[in-house]
Structure 1
Amino acid sequence: MPNAPTLPRTPAPDTAAPGRPLEWLHADDLVPYPEALAAMETRVAAIREGRAAEAVWLLEHPPLYTAGTSARIEDLTDPDRFPVHFAGRGGQYTYHGPGQRIAYVMLDIAARGRDVRHFVSQVEDWVIATLDEFNVKGERREGRVGVWVVRPDRPPMPDGSPREDKIAAIGLRLRRWVSFHGLSINVDPDLSHFDGIVPCGIREHGVTSLVDLGLPVSMADVDVALKRTFPQIFGRPIETAGSGN
Protein backbone atom coordinates (compact mmCIF):
# COMPACT_ATOMS: atom_id res chain seq x y z
CA MET A 1 0.00 0.00 0.00
CA PRO A 2 2.43 2.71 -1.19
CA ASN A 3 0.44 5.82 -0.32
CA ALA A 4 -1.21 4.68 2.89
CA PRO A 5 0.50 4.33 6.24
CA THR A 6 0.86 0.87 7.66
CA LEU A 7 -1.73 0.56 10.40
CA PRO A 8 0.24 -1.18 13.18
CA ARG A 9 -1.28 -3.84 15.38
CA THR A 10 -0.59 -2.80 18.95
CA PRO A 11 -1.99 -4.65 21.97
CA ALA A 12 -5.24 -3.19 23.29
CA PRO A 13 -5.95 -4.10 26.91
CA ASP A 14 -9.50 -5.10 27.81
CA THR A 15 -10.42 -1.84 29.58
CA ALA A 16 -13.34 0.50 29.01
CA ALA A 17 -12.97 3.89 27.29
CA PRO A 18 -11.80 6.50 28.14
CA GLY A 19 -8.28 5.43 28.99
CA ARG A 20 -7.96 2.96 26.13
CA PRO A 21 -4.95 3.15 23.84
CA LEU A 22 -5.51 5.42 20.83
CA GLU A 23 -3.19 5.76 17.87
CA TRP A 24 -3.08 8.91 15.73
CA LEU A 25 -2.10 8.03 12.17
CA HIS A 26 -1.14 10.57 9.52
CA ALA A 27 -0.67 10.18 5.76
CA ASP A 28 1.50 12.80 4.08
CA ASP A 29 0.57 11.77 0.52
CA LEU A 30 -2.86 11.58 -1.09
CA VAL A 31 -4.38 8.17 -0.31
CA PRO A 32 -6.43 6.44 -3.04
CA TYR A 33 -9.89 5.62 -1.74
CA PRO A 34 -9.79 1.82 -2.29
CA GLU A 35 -6.51 1.63 -0.35
CA ALA A 36 -7.96 3.65 2.51
CA LEU A 37 -11.03 1.43 2.64
CA ALA A 38 -8.92 -1.73 2.70
CA ALA A 39 -6.68 -0.34 5.45
CA MET A 40 -9.71 0.61 7.56
CA GLU A 41 -11.26 -2.83 7.11
CA THR A 42 -8.06 -4.47 8.31
CA ARG A 43 -7.70 -2.18 11.31
CA VAL A 44 -11.35 -2.53 12.33
CA ALA A 45 -11.03 -6.31 12.35
CA ALA A 46 -7.89 -6.07 14.49
CA ILE A 47 -9.57 -3.71 16.97
CA ARG A 48 -12.57 -6.00 17.20
CA GLU A 49 -10.31 -8.99 17.91
CA GLY A 50 -8.30 -7.10 20.54
CA ARG A 51 -5.13 -7.08 18.43
CA ALA A 52 -4.91 -3.32 17.84
CA ALA A 53 -5.52 -0.02 19.55
CA GLU A 54 -8.30 2.35 18.53
CA ALA A 55 -7.14 4.80 15.86
CA VAL A 56 -7.85 8.13 14.20
CA TRP A 57 -6.36 8.36 10.71
CA LEU A 58 -5.78 11.85 9.25
CA LEU A 59 -5.41 11.98 5.47
CA GLU A 60 -6.43 13.56 2.17
CA HIS A 61 -7.77 11.83 -0.94
CA PRO A 62 -7.29 12.64 -4.62
CA PRO A 63 -10.45 14.18 -6.13
CA LEU A 64 -13.34 11.70 -6.00
CA TYR A 65 -16.99 11.28 -5.12
CA THR A 66 -18.32 8.73 -2.66
CA ALA A 67 -21.85 7.37 -2.51
CA GLY A 68 -23.38 6.42 0.83
CA THR A 69 -26.15 3.92 1.37
CA SER A 70 -28.85 6.57 0.77
CA ALA A 71 -27.33 8.05 -2.41
CA ARG A 72 -29.74 8.86 -5.26
CA ILE A 73 -28.42 8.58 -8.80
CA GLU A 74 -30.05 11.89 -9.81
CA ASP A 75 -27.78 13.65 -7.29
CA LEU A 76 -24.70 12.60 -9.28
CA THR A 77 -24.97 15.44 -11.80
CA ASP A 78 -21.57 14.98 -13.49
CA PRO A 79 -20.69 11.27 -13.29
CA ASP A 80 -17.64 11.58 -15.55
CA ARG A 81 -15.90 14.35 -13.63
CA PHE A 82 -14.17 12.26 -10.94
CA PRO A 83 -14.12 8.58 -9.94
CA VAL A 84 -17.18 7.51 -7.97
CA HIS A 85 -16.83 5.00 -5.13
CA PHE A 86 -19.54 3.22 -3.18
CA ALA A 87 -18.55 3.84 0.43
CA GLY A 88 -20.87 1.58 2.42
CA ARG A 89 -21.26 4.33 5.03
CA GLY A 90 -24.44 6.16 5.87
CA GLY A 91 -25.44 9.25 3.91
CA GLN A 92 -25.57 10.26 0.26
CA TYR A 93 -23.01 11.70 -2.19
CA THR A 94 -20.04 13.70 -1.01
CA TYR A 95 -16.79 14.96 -2.46
CA HIS A 96 -13.30 14.29 -1.13
CA GLY A 97 -10.11 15.86 -2.43
CA PRO A 98 -6.95 17.82 -1.67
CA GLY A 99 -7.42 20.59 0.86
CA GLN A 100 -9.97 18.61 2.83
CA ARG A 101 -9.01 17.03 6.13
CA ILE A 102 -10.38 13.53 6.42
CA ALA A 103 -10.43 11.93 9.86
CA TYR A 104 -11.30 8.25 9.79
CA VAL A 105 -12.43 7.28 13.28
CA MET A 106 -11.92 3.66 14.34
CA LEU A 107 -13.24 3.33 17.88
CA ASP A 108 -14.65 0.47 19.95
CA ILE A 109 -18.22 1.61 20.49
CA ALA A 110 -18.99 -1.50 22.55
CA ALA A 111 -16.56 -0.16 25.16
CA ARG A 112 -18.15 3.28 24.89
CA GLY A 113 -21.69 2.36 25.85
CA ARG A 114 -23.14 0.84 22.63
CA ASP A 115 -25.10 4.03 21.94
CA VAL A 116 -24.85 4.73 18.22
CA ARG A 117 -26.87 7.94 18.30
CA HIS A 118 -24.71 9.31 21.11
CA PHE A 119 -21.56 8.39 19.17
CA VAL A 120 -22.73 10.23 16.05
CA SER A 121 -23.54 13.24 18.23
CA GLN A 122 -20.04 13.05 19.71
CA VAL A 123 -18.48 13.14 16.24
CA GLU A 124 -20.56 16.22 15.43
CA ASP A 125 -19.51 17.79 18.73
CA TRP A 126 -15.87 17.07 17.89
CA VAL A 127 -16.16 18.91 14.57
CA ILE A 128 -17.94 21.84 16.24
CA ALA A 129 -15.27 22.05 18.96
CA THR A 130 -12.52 21.92 16.33
CA LEU A 131 -14.08 24.77 14.36
CA ASP A 132 -14.45 26.75 17.57
CA GLU A 133 -10.65 26.67 17.88
CA PHE A 134 -10.69 29.06 14.89
CA ASN A 135 -13.62 31.13 16.19
CA VAL A 136 -15.94 29.53 13.64
CA LYS A 137 -19.41 28.67 14.93
CA GLY A 138 -20.39 25.30 13.52
CA GLU A 139 -23.99 24.27 13.99
CA ARG A 140 -26.27 21.26 13.57
CA ARG A 141 -29.45 21.52 11.54
CA GLU A 142 -32.45 19.22 11.90
CA GLY A 143 -32.81 17.08 8.79
CA ARG A 144 -29.44 18.17 7.37
CA VAL A 145 -26.44 15.95 7.95
CA GLY A 146 -23.09 17.56 8.70
CA VAL A 147 -21.97 20.79 10.31
CA TRP A 148 -23.09 24.19 9.01
CA VAL A 149 -22.09 27.84 9.27
CA VAL A 150 -24.33 30.88 8.87
CA ARG A 151 -23.20 33.27 6.10
CA PRO A 152 -24.29 36.84 6.96
CA ASP A 153 -21.83 38.00 4.28
CA ARG A 154 -23.95 36.34 1.57
CA PRO A 155 -27.37 37.33 0.20
CA PRO A 156 -30.20 35.80 2.26
CA MET A 157 -32.39 32.94 1.12
CA PRO A 158 -35.56 33.75 -0.88
CA ASP A 159 -37.61 33.48 2.31
CA GLY A 160 -35.36 36.04 4.01
CA SER A 161 -33.58 33.57 6.28
CA PRO A 162 -29.76 33.72 6.49
CA ARG A 163 -27.81 31.69 3.97
CA GLU A 164 -26.00 28.67 5.41
CA ASP A 165 -23.14 26.63 3.96
CA LYS A 166 -21.84 23.20 4.85
CA ILE A 167 -18.28 23.13 6.14
CA ALA A 168 -17.99 19.53 7.31
CA ALA A 169 -19.48 16.17 6.34
CA ILE A 170 -20.00 13.14 8.56
CA GLY A 171 -20.53 9.56 7.42
CA LEU A 172 -20.05 6.58 9.71
CA ARG A 173 -20.34 2.83 9.67
CA LEU A 174 -20.12 0.24 12.43
CA ARG A 175 -19.01 -3.35 12.14
CA ARG A 176 -19.57 -5.43 15.26
CA TRP A 177 -19.50 -2.24 17.30
CA VAL A 178 -16.26 -0.87 15.86
CA SER A 179 -16.65 2.38 13.93
CA PHE A 180 -15.00 3.39 10.68
CA HIS A 181 -15.27 6.08 8.02
CA GLY A 182 -15.67 9.39 9.85
CA LEU A 183 -15.62 13.09 9.00
CA SER A 184 -14.26 15.62 6.54
CA ILE A 185 -13.57 19.29 7.23
CA ASN A 186 -13.17 21.68 4.30
CA VAL A 187 -9.91 23.51 4.94
CA ASP A 188 -9.04 24.79 1.45
CA PRO A 189 -10.42 22.44 -1.22
CA ASP A 190 -11.46 23.53 -4.70
CA LEU A 191 -15.11 24.21 -3.92
CA SER A 192 -16.06 23.99 -7.60
CA HIS A 193 -15.40 20.24 -7.35
CA PHE A 194 -18.63 19.91 -5.38
CA ASP A 195 -20.54 21.01 -8.49
CA GLY A 196 -20.65 17.46 -9.89
CA ILE A 197 -22.97 16.27 -7.12
CA VAL A 198 -25.77 17.46 -4.89
CA PRO A 199 -23.80 17.24 -1.63
CA CYS A 200 -25.66 14.99 0.80
CA GLY A 201 -28.80 15.46 -1.31
CA ILE A 202 -29.27 19.08 -0.15
CA ARG A 203 -29.89 21.42 -3.10
CA GLU A 204 -30.81 24.69 -1.41
CA HIS A 205 -27.56 25.24 0.49
CA GLY A 206 -23.93 25.52 -0.55
CA VAL A 207 -20.52 24.50 0.75
CA THR A 208 -17.71 26.53 2.24
CA SER A 209 -14.26 26.09 3.76
CA LEU A 210 -12.16 27.70 6.45
CA VAL A 211 -10.15 29.58 3.82
CA ASP A 212 -13.34 30.60 2.00
CA LEU A 213 -14.47 32.14 5.30
CA GLY A 214 -11.32 34.28 5.23
CA LEU A 215 -9.23 32.28 7.69
CA PRO A 216 -5.59 31.56 6.75
CA VAL A 217 -5.73 28.08 8.30
CA SER A 218 -3.35 25.28 7.33
CA MET A 219 -3.97 21.54 7.43
CA ALA A 220 -1.45 21.30 10.27
CA ASP A 221 -3.47 23.86 12.24
CA VAL A 222 -6.59 21.74 11.84
CA ASP A 223 -4.73 18.60 12.92
CA VAL A 224 -3.59 20.32 16.11
CA ALA A 225 -7.17 21.42 16.80
CA LEU A 226 -8.56 17.93 16.19
CA LYS A 227 -6.08 16.39 18.61
CA ARG A 228 -6.61 19.10 21.22
CA THR A 229 -10.40 18.78 21.23
CA PHE A 230 -10.67 14.98 20.99
CA PRO A 231 -10.33 14.40 24.77
CA GLN A 232 -13.01 17.01 25.47
CA ILE A 233 -15.53 14.87 23.62
CA PHE A 234 -14.37 11.26 23.85
CA GLY A 235 -12.33 11.27 27.05
CA ARG A 236 -8.58 11.29 27.39
CA PRO A 237 -7.06 8.21 25.75
CA ILE A 238 -3.74 6.53 26.37
CA GLU A 239 -1.94 7.67 23.23
CA THR A 240 0.43 5.33 21.43
CA ALA A 241 3.05 6.24 18.85
CA GLY A 242 1.52 7.06 15.47
CA SER A 243 2.94 6.50 12.03
CA GLY A 244 2.98 8.31 8.70
CA ASN A 245 4.36 7.67 5.26
Structure 2
Amino acid sequence: MVNALQTRREDPALTSFFAQSGPPAEWRVADSPVPYQDALEVMEKRAADIAAGHAPELVWLLEHPPLYTSGTSARPEDLIDARFPVFATGRGGQFTYHGPGQRVVYLMLDLKRRRPDVRAYVASLEQFTIRALAAFNVRGERREDRVGVWVARPEKGPAHEDKIAAIGVRLKRWVSLHGISINVEPDLSHFSGIIPCGVQDPRHGVTSLVDLGLPVTMHDVDMALKQAFEEVFGA
Protein backbone atom coordinates (compact mmCIF):
# COMPACT_ATOMS: atom_id res chain seq x y z
CA MET A 1 0.00 0.00 0.00
CA VAL A 2 1.30 3.47 -0.85
CA ASN A 3 1.63 5.78 2.14
CA ALA A 4 -1.00 8.50 1.91
CA LEU A 5 1.66 11.04 2.86
CA GLN A 6 3.80 10.97 -0.24
CA THR A 7 7.54 11.21 0.26
CA ARG A 8 9.17 14.08 -1.62
CA ARG A 9 11.20 12.93 -4.56
CA GLU A 10 14.92 13.48 -4.08
CA ASP A 11 16.08 15.99 -6.65
CA PRO A 12 19.89 16.39 -6.74
CA ALA A 13 19.40 19.98 -7.86
CA LEU A 14 17.56 20.64 -4.59
CA THR A 15 19.76 18.64 -2.26
CA SER A 16 23.31 19.50 -3.37
CA PHE A 17 24.67 22.71 -1.90
CA PHE A 18 28.36 22.65 -2.75
CA ALA A 19 30.17 25.97 -2.37
CA GLN A 20 31.70 27.35 -5.56
CA SER A 21 34.65 28.96 -3.79
CA GLY A 22 36.11 29.89 -0.44
CA PRO A 23 37.61 28.06 2.55
CA PRO A 24 36.05 24.89 3.99
CA ALA A 25 33.52 25.18 6.80
CA GLU A 26 34.88 25.04 10.33
CA TRP A 27 33.51 22.26 12.55
CA ARG A 28 33.10 22.83 16.27
CA VAL A 29 31.84 20.40 18.96
CA ALA A 30 30.77 21.73 22.36
CA ASP A 31 31.92 19.56 25.27
CA SER A 32 29.16 20.66 27.66
CA PRO A 33 25.55 21.92 27.31
CA VAL A 34 25.39 25.45 25.91
CA PRO A 35 22.82 27.91 27.34
CA TYR A 36 20.44 28.96 24.60
CA GLN A 37 21.04 32.70 24.82
CA ASP A 38 24.80 32.12 24.61
CA ALA A 39 24.32 30.03 21.48
CA LEU A 40 22.21 32.75 19.87
CA GLU A 41 24.90 35.34 20.52
CA VAL A 42 27.58 33.12 18.98
CA MET A 43 25.43 32.44 15.92
CA GLU A 44 24.57 36.09 15.36
CA LYS A 45 28.20 37.19 15.69
CA ARG A 46 29.53 34.45 13.42
CA ALA A 47 26.83 35.03 10.79
CA ALA A 48 27.72 38.73 10.67
CA ASP A 49 31.41 37.90 10.32
CA ILE A 50 30.69 35.43 7.51
CA ALA A 51 28.55 37.97 5.66
CA ALA A 52 31.36 40.52 5.97
CA GLY A 53 33.93 38.04 4.67
CA HIS A 54 35.80 37.96 7.98
CA ALA A 55 35.24 34.31 8.98
CA PRO A 56 34.66 30.91 7.38
CA GLU A 57 31.36 29.08 7.56
CA LEU A 58 30.67 27.15 10.76
CA VAL A 59 28.96 23.88 11.63
CA TRP A 60 28.46 23.79 15.40
CA LEU A 61 27.48 20.56 17.17
CA LEU A 62 26.11 20.95 20.68
CA GLU A 63 23.50 20.10 23.27
CA HIS A 64 21.31 22.49 25.27
CA PRO A 65 20.00 22.27 28.81
CA PRO A 66 16.24 21.47 28.80
CA LEU A 67 14.24 24.26 27.14
CA TYR A 68 11.54 25.02 24.62
CA THR A 69 11.88 27.35 21.64
CA SER A 70 9.17 28.97 19.56
CA GLY A 71 9.51 29.86 15.90
CA THR A 72 7.83 32.59 13.91
CA SER A 73 4.73 30.42 13.28
CA ALA A 74 4.28 29.25 16.89
CA ARG A 75 0.77 29.32 18.36
CA PRO A 76 0.45 30.11 22.09
CA GLU A 77 -1.99 27.25 22.59
CA ASP A 78 0.68 24.76 21.48
CA LEU A 79 2.64 25.47 24.67
CA ILE A 80 0.84 23.07 27.01
CA ASP A 81 3.15 23.00 30.04
CA ALA A 82 6.02 25.48 30.28
CA ARG A 83 8.03 23.22 32.59
CA PHE A 84 11.28 24.56 31.12
CA PRO A 85 12.41 28.03 29.99
CA VAL A 86 10.81 29.18 26.74
CA PHE A 87 12.78 31.20 24.19
CA ALA A 88 11.27 33.07 21.25
CA THR A 89 13.50 32.80 18.19
CA GLY A 90 13.64 34.30 14.73
CA ARG A 91 13.73 30.89 13.06
CA GLY A 92 10.89 29.47 11.05
CA GLY A 93 8.59 26.84 12.49
CA GLN A 94 6.66 26.43 15.72
CA PHE A 95 7.49 24.97 19.16
CA THR A 96 10.20 22.40 19.75
CA TYR A 97 12.13 20.97 22.68
CA HIS A 98 15.91 20.94 23.13
CA GLY A 99 17.78 19.12 25.85
CA PRO A 100 20.48 16.62 26.81
CA GLY A 101 20.70 13.61 24.53
CA GLN A 102 19.72 15.63 21.47
CA ARG A 103 22.33 16.57 18.88
CA VAL A 104 21.75 20.14 17.81
CA VAL A 105 23.47 21.13 14.57
CA TYR A 106 23.71 24.87 13.98
CA LEU A 107 24.87 25.71 10.47
CA MET A 108 26.14 29.14 9.55
CA LEU A 109 26.53 28.80 5.79
CA ASP A 110 26.90 31.50 3.14
CA LEU A 111 24.10 30.74 0.70
CA LYS A 112 25.38 33.38 -1.70
CA ARG A 113 28.39 31.11 -2.23
CA ARG A 114 26.26 27.99 -2.36
CA ARG A 115 22.74 28.71 -3.61
CA PRO A 116 20.46 31.59 -2.54
CA ASP A 117 17.30 29.49 -2.37
CA VAL A 118 15.60 28.99 1.01
CA ARG A 119 13.34 26.14 -0.08
CA ALA A 120 16.24 24.24 -1.63
CA TYR A 121 18.35 24.85 1.47
CA VAL A 122 15.71 23.31 3.75
CA ALA A 123 15.45 20.32 1.39
CA SER A 124 19.23 19.97 1.60
CA LEU A 125 19.11 20.00 5.40
CA GLU A 126 16.53 17.23 5.30
CA GLN A 127 18.67 15.20 2.92
CA PHE A 128 21.76 15.84 5.06
CA THR A 129 19.91 14.41 8.06
CA ILE A 130 18.51 11.46 6.12
CA ARG A 131 22.00 10.48 4.95
CA ALA A 132 23.39 10.70 8.47
CA LEU A 133 20.60 8.47 9.80
CA ALA A 134 21.24 5.96 7.03
CA ALA A 135 24.62 5.24 8.66
CA PHE A 136 22.60 3.49 11.39
CA ASN A 137 20.23 1.75 8.96
CA VAL A 138 17.44 4.17 9.85
CA ARG A 139 15.23 5.17 6.95
CA GLY A 140 14.41 8.81 7.47
CA GLU A 141 11.84 10.38 5.15
CA ARG A 142 10.67 13.85 4.14
CA ARG A 143 7.04 14.88 3.84
CA GLU A 144 5.44 17.47 1.58
CA ASP A 145 3.31 18.93 4.36
CA ARG A 146 5.66 18.63 7.36
CA VAL A 147 9.23 19.93 7.54
CA GLY A 148 11.63 17.63 9.34
CA VAL A 149 12.65 14.00 9.10
CA TRP A 150 10.23 11.20 9.90
CA VAL A 151 10.47 7.46 10.58
CA ALA A 152 7.63 5.07 9.74
CA ARG A 153 6.38 3.10 12.78
CA PRO A 154 4.02 0.44 11.39
CA GLU A 155 4.21 -1.49 14.68
CA LYS A 156 2.29 1.41 16.29
CA GLY A 157 -0.53 1.27 13.77
CA PRO A 158 -1.45 2.17 10.18
CA ALA A 159 0.16 5.38 8.86
CA HIS A 160 1.93 6.02 12.17
CA GLU A 161 5.25 7.83 11.93
CA ASP A 162 7.43 9.65 14.40
CA LYS A 163 9.65 12.69 13.97
CA ILE A 164 13.30 12.00 14.70
CA ALA A 165 14.73 15.36 13.60
CA ALA A 166 13.37 18.90 13.55
CA ILE A 167 14.52 21.70 11.24
CA GLY A 168 14.21 25.44 11.62
CA VAL A 169 16.23 28.13 9.86
CA ARG A 170 16.69 31.86 9.60
CA LEU A 171 18.70 33.86 7.06
CA LYS A 172 20.53 37.15 7.59
CA ARG A 173 22.21 38.62 4.52
CA TRP A 174 21.95 35.13 2.99
CA VAL A 175 23.88 33.53 5.85
CA SER A 176 21.96 30.74 7.59
CA LEU A 177 21.36 30.48 11.32
CA HIS A 178 19.83 27.71 13.46
CA GLY A 179 19.51 24.32 11.74
CA ILE A 180 18.70 20.78 12.89
CA SER A 181 18.03 18.86 16.09
CA ILE A 182 18.36 15.06 15.99
CA ASN A 183 16.95 12.96 18.81
CA VAL A 184 19.71 10.59 19.89
CA GLU A 185 18.77 9.79 23.50
CA PRO A 186 16.70 12.65 24.95
CA ASP A 187 13.93 12.23 27.51
CA LEU A 188 11.04 12.03 25.05
CA SER A 189 8.51 12.79 27.80
CA HIS A 190 9.66 16.42 27.71
CA PHE A 191 8.02 16.81 24.30
CA SER A 192 4.64 16.42 26.04
CA GLY A 193 4.90 20.00 27.29
CA ILE A 194 4.29 21.23 23.74
CA ILE A 195 2.61 20.23 20.51
CA PRO A 196 5.86 19.65 18.60
CA CYS A 197 5.95 21.72 15.43
CA GLY A 198 2.17 22.16 15.70
CA VAL A 199 1.46 18.59 14.51
CA GLN A 200 -1.62 17.37 16.40
CA ASP A 201 -2.37 14.14 14.52
CA PRO A 202 -2.07 11.30 17.11
CA ARG A 203 -0.41 9.14 14.46
CA HIS A 204 2.55 11.52 14.41
CA GLY A 205 4.78 11.41 17.48
CA VAL A 206 8.46 11.76 18.30
CA THR A 207 11.21 9.17 18.52
CA SER A 208 14.96 8.87 18.95
CA LEU A 209 17.73 6.57 17.84
CA VAL A 210 17.77 4.86 21.23
CA ASP A 211 13.96 4.59 21.21
CA LEU A 212 14.36 2.74 17.90
CA GLY A 213 16.66 0.26 19.63
CA LEU A 214 19.96 1.74 18.45
CA PRO A 215 22.38 2.37 21.34
CA VAL A 216 24.55 4.83 19.42
CA THR A 217 26.76 7.46 21.01
CA MET A 218 26.83 11.16 20.27
CA HIS A 219 30.29 10.65 18.78
CA ASP A 220 28.85 8.05 16.38
CA VAL A 221 26.24 10.58 15.27
CA ASP A 222 28.84 13.30 14.83
CA MET A 223 30.92 11.08 12.55
CA ALA A 224 27.85 10.26 10.46
CA LEU A 225 26.98 13.96 10.23
CA LYS A 226 30.46 14.85 9.02
CA GLN A 227 30.29 12.27 6.23
CA ALA A 228 26.77 13.30 5.22
CA PHE A 229 27.76 16.99 5.19
CA GLU A 230 30.55 16.27 2.73
CA GLU A 231 28.09 14.44 0.47
CA VAL A 232 25.45 17.18 0.45
CA PHE A 233 27.39 20.40 1.12
CA GLY A 234 30.96 19.51 0.14
CA ALA A 235 33.77 20.96 2.23
Gaps of 5+ in 2: 1-18
What one-letter code is carried by the residue in structure 1 that aligns with 2:142? R
| Distance across 2 between alignment mates of 1:17 and 1:209 | 35
| Distance across 1 between alignment mates of 2:215 and 2:21 | 34
The answer on 1:37 being equivalent to 2:36 is no
TM-score, scaled to structure 1 = 0.86
What one-letter code is carried by the residue in structure 1 that aligns with 2:67? L
The answer on 1:226 being equivalent to 2:228 is no
Where do 1:1-245 residues align within 5 Å? 16-17=19-20, 20-79=23-82, 81-154=83-156, 156=157, 161-204=158-201, 205-235=204-234, 237=235
| Distance across 1 between alignment mates of 2:21 and 2:129 | 19
| Distance across 2 between alignment mates of 1:18 and 1:222 | 28
Gaps of 5+ in 1: 1-15, 238-245
The alignment yields a C-alpha RMSD, in angstroms, of 1.0
| Distance across 2 between alignment mates of 1:150 and 1:171 | 21
| Distance across 2 between alignment mates of 1:27 and 1:18 | 27
What one-letter code is carried by the residue in structure 2 that aligns with 1:225? A
Local SS of the residue matching 2:54:
coil
Local SS of the residue matching 2:25:
strand
Deviation at 1:215, TM superposition (A): 0.4
Determine if contact 1:18/1:234 at 8 Å carries over to the other structure. Answer: no
TM-score, scaled to structure 2 = 0.89
Q: Which consecutive aligned stretches of 4+ in structure 1 deviate over 6 angstroms post-superposition?
A: none
Deviation at 1:142, TM superposition (A): 1.7
Would the alpha carbon gap of residues 167 and 18 (structure 1) be closer, same or farther in structure 2, given more than 3 Å must change?
A: farther
More helix per residue: 1 or 2?
A: 2
Determine if contact 1:187/1:219 at 8 Å carries over to the other structure. Answer: yes
Local SS of the residue matching 2:128:
helix
Q: Among the aligned pairs, what percent are the same residue?
A: 65
Determine if contact 1:54/1:108 at 8 Å carries over to the other structure. Answer: yes
Determine if contact 1:125/1:233 at 8 Å carries over to the other structure. Answer: yes
What one-letter code is carried by the residue in structure 1 that aligns with 2:43? M
What one-letter code is carried by the residue in structure 2 that aligns with 1:54? E
| Distance across 2 between alignment mates of 1:110 and 1:198 | 34
| Distance across 2 between alignment mates of 1:167 and 1:28 | 23
Deviation at 1:19, TM superposition (A): 5.7
Local SS of the residue matching 1:153:
helix
Would the alpha carbon gap of residues 101 and 220 (structure 1) be closer, same or farther in structure 2, given more than 3 Å must change?
A: same
Instruction: Give the aligned length.
Output: 215
What one-letter code is carried by the residue in structure 1 that aligns with 2:190? H
